[in-house]
């Protein structure tokens, strides 16, 4: 972890790099994804099957693109029942939180005039669930439950097979929350299939869910023909800590992001140089017990930065410029700082609220804006799966009078 003092040379350059993260495009990715999308639009299932064989080394036919009920039953038989119980528990917490987001239609009357807003759910939503090591049943819960709470009539999901096998926990998470159809495809071809429809896969109104750079680019390209949640980048955490914070807690939460991806951004802002030094020591100790050592080391070397500020208020100002996905306030009286935080996907208050509890079990959505887009984007929610229509009615007299 690099330690940079805000009043010394190099600070502005380091800050600008963080503020402008996620703005570098890749021409090779764009060209590849555009080709995939065009072929899926033209050839439907045929192209989906071809690209699945090419990228996932998995042979599909039109008959087995859709996951069968038998496959889901087999998934239930293969899993740890304690994890099944926890998935159901977590699903209920997520549902309870999102039920507070439900909006209702409204109207008001003037003399001879009725004005209002009608809120209706989308007809069909598509969810992307990554496969392989990036398979997270929690992401299925977080993406599907808001749609179901909103009243979306049909939810379909695409998830790729890894080594010819679908992740049973992903299948069960989808079944628990009522996904209507599951398709065994991944990558940019899955996004294109949901955006434009094929002989087997229905065209949807909105696509949500995480994925690699190809999935993210495909979502960006189909936006406008279909709605999307956001174009997400690497995960990020920013911890603002004062001398009351525990260095071991800070290190653990920074590592929870570093092990995600070597492109992740684990960041710390503090007014205590002693704390920063202790965190560096804790990072060295704790990372030895983690399995993804190469990813962690690359992330800590390239993207893990601690900014030393003169006071916590300066730290909050710095955070608002960065607009992090996850913001932890490990400071005394953290709740008193909420109003000063202007840009953050999720705010975690106090030293006993780790980012992991928000990612998995608290209830709020873990689909959050990255790359500084928390300046204008919000977490995924029920409001993302509804549309609003203005309602206008005049009688003859009111029309003449206006």
- Please list the residues that pair with 165 across neighbouring strands: 162
pLDDT of residue 162: 82
pLDDT at 223 over 90: yes
pLDDT at 25 over 70: no
Token readout for 201 is 């896969």
CA separation, residue 391 to residues 107, 232, 398 (Å): 8, 34, 16
pLDDT of residue 24: 60
Token readout for 77 is 């038989």
pLDDT confidence tier of residue 23, bands split at 50, 70 and 90: low
- Structure confidence by residue, pLDDT tens digits, 66-96: 999 999 999 999 999 999 999 999 999 999 9
CA separation, residue 276 to residues 181, 255, 284 (Å): 49, 15, 13
pLDDT confidence tier of residue 163, bands split at 50, 70 and 90: confident
pLDDT at 133 over 80: no
Question: Do 2-24+233-375 and 44-228 agree at the fold level?
Answer: yes
Cα–Cα distance for residue pair 86/138, rounded to 1 Å: 10
Residues in the chain: 402
Mean pLDDT in residue range 316-335: 97
- Structure confidence by residue, pLDDT tens digits, 96-106: 999 999 999 99
pLDDT of residue 260: 85
Cα–Cα distance for residue pair 136/151, rounded to 1 Å: 24
Which residue has tokens 């996004």?
191
DSSP 8-state symbol, 66: B
pLDDT of residue 57: 87
Strand order in the sheet with 2-5: 2-5, 305-308, 265-270, 236-241, 326-330, 346-349
- Structure confidence by residue, pLDDT tens digits, 272-303: 999 999 999 999 999 999 988 899 999 999 99
DSSP 8-state symbol, 363: S
Decide if 13 contacts 30 (C-beta within 8 A).
no
- Please list the residues that pair with 224 across neighbouring strands: none
Q: Which CATH architecture has domain 44-228?
A: 3-Layer(aba) Sandwich (3.40)
* Percent of the chain residues past pLDDT 90, beyond the cut: 90
Which residue has tokens 């033209």?
42
pLDDT of residue 272: 97
Task: Find the angle CA(41)-CA(47)-CA(52) to the nearest 5 degrees.
Answer: 130
- Lowest-confidence region among 18-32, 157-171, 228-242: 18-32
Cα–Cα distance for residue pair 279/231, rounded to 1 Å: 32
> Whole-model pTM?
0.93
Cα–Cα distance for residue pair 182/180, rounded to 1 Å: 7
Neighbours of 103 (CB within 10 A): 12
The sign of the CA dihedral 197, 201, 204, 209 is negative
DSSP states of 102-119 as a string?
A: ----EEEEETTEEEEEEE
Average pLDDT score over the chain? 95
Nearest to 291 by CA among 258, 315, 320, 322: 258
pLDDT at 199 over 90: yes
pLDDT of residue 27: 79
pLDDT of residue 222: 98
* Percent of the chain residues past pLDDT 70, beyond the cut: 99
- Please list the residues that pair with 241 across neighbouring strands: 270, 330
The residues carrying an active-site annotation are 325-326
Task: Find the angle CA(398)-CA(401)-CA(402) to the nearest 5 degrees.
Answer: 90
- Cα 296 from chain centre: 21
Cα–Cα distance for residue pair 254/339, rounded to 1 Å: 24
Three-state SS annotation for 184-224: CCCHHHHHHHHHHCCCCCCCCCEEECCCCHHHHHHHHHHEC
pLDDT at 233 over 90: no
Q: Which CATH architecture has domain 2-24+233-375?
A: 3-Layer(aba) Sandwich (3.40)
- What does residue 332 show for φ and ψ, rounded to 5 degrees? -65, 140
All structural domains of the chain with their residue ranges? 2-24+233-375, 44-228
pLDDT confidence tier of residue 134, bands split at 50, 70 and 90: low
């Amino acid at each position: 972890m690099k330690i940079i003092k805000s009043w010394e040379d190099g600070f502005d350059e380091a800050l600008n790099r963080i503020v402008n993260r996620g703005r570098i495009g890749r021409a090779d990715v764009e060209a590849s994804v555009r080709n995939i999308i065009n072929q899926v639009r033209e050839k439907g299932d045929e192209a989906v099957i071809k690209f699945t064989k090419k990228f996932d080394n998995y042979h599909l036919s039109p008959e087995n693109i859709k996951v069968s009920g038998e496959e889901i039953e087999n998934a239930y038989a293969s899993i740890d029942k304690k994890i099944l119980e926890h998935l159901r528990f977590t699903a209920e917490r997520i549902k309870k939180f999102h039920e507070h987001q439900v909006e209702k239609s409204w109207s008001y009357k003037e003399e001879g005039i009725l004005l209002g807003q009608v809120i209706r759910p989308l007809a069909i939503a598509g969810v992307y669930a990554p496969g392989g090591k990036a398979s997270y049943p929690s992401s299925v819960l977080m993406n599907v439950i808001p749609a179901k709470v909103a009243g979306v009539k049909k939810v379909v999901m695409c998830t790729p097979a890894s080594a010819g096998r679908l992740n049973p926990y992903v299948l069960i998470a989808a079944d628990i929350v009522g996904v209507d159809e599951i398709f065994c495809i991944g990558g940019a071809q899955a996004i294109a299939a949901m955006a434009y429809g094929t002989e087997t896969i229905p065209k949807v109104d909105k696509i949500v869910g995480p994925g690699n750079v190809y999935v993210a680019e495909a979502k960006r390209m189909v936006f406008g023909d279909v709605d999307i949640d956001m174009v997400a980048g690497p995960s990020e955490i920013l911890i603002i800590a004062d001398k009351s914070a525990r260095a071991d807690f800070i290190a653990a939460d920074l590592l929870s992001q570093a092990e995600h991806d070597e492109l992740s951004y684990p960041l710390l802002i503090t007014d205590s140089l002693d704390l920063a030094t202790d965190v560096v020591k804790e990072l060295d100790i704790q990372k030895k017990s983690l399995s993804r050592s190469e990813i962690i080391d690359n992330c800590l070397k390239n993207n893990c930065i601690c900014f030393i500020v003169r006071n916590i208020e300066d730290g909050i100002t710095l955070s608002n410029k960065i607009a992090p996905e996850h913001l932890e306030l490990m400071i005394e009286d953290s709740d008193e700082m909420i109003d000063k935080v202007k840009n953050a996907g999720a705010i975690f208050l106090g030293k006993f609220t780790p980012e992991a509890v928000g990612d998995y079990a608290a209830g709020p959505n873990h689909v959050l804006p990255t790359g500084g887009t928390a300046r204008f984007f919000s977490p995924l929610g029920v409001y993302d799966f509804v549309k609003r229509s203005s309602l206008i009615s005049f009688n003859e007299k009111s029309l003449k009078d206006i």
